[in-house]
């Protein structure tokens, strides 16, 4: 079950994230933004942060400290953590005037990112 902070963006409970992936989101100094940090066997690091008040999500993928991918999106309406079989991923929904989008950030068994942005 997610929590809505300030009526802005539905996010997962910190305990639900911990139970699903074994890592609890770090609460950033401003008190609203949460960041999940994960590493893979190949030296990669995934940093997923979500700001419920700003309705934004940032996904950064680093390899040996070098940024490979840095995605920032506003207009987020929900961040959920889901499990399907052996796969665990964050499902992030976005919506705005005339557009919608979805980003799936898989965290187990391997890290991968799928992003869709559609005009509606």
**Can you give the pLDDT at residue 83?**
95
pLDDT greater than 80 at residue 6: no
Nearest CA-CA partner of 59 in 115, 19, 118: 115
50 strand-pairing partners: 34, 57
Q: Where are the domains of the chain?
A: 2-119
More confident residue, 1 or 104: 104
Q: For residue range 18-44, list pLDDT tens digits in order.
A: 999 999 999 988 778 999 999 988 888
Between strands 76-84 and 87-96, the pairing is antiparallel
Helix H or strand E encompassing 19:
helix 14-21
**Can you give the pLDDT at residue 21?**
95
């Amino acid at each position: 079950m997610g929590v809505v902070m300030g009526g802005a963006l539905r996010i997962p409970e910190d305990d639900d994230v911990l139970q699903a992936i074994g890592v609890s989101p770090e609460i950033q100094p401003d008190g609203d933004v949460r960041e999940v940090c994960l590493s893979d066997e190949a030296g990669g690091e995934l940093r997923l942060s979500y700001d419920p008040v700003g309705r934004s999500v940032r996904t950064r993928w680093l390899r040996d400290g070098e940024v490979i991918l840095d995605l920032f999106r506003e207009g987020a309406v929900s961040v959920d953590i889901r499990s399907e079989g052996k796969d665990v991923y964050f499902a992030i929904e976005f919506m705005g005037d005339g557009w919608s989008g979805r980003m799936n950030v898989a965290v187990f068994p391997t890290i991968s990112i799928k992003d869709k942005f559609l005009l509606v």
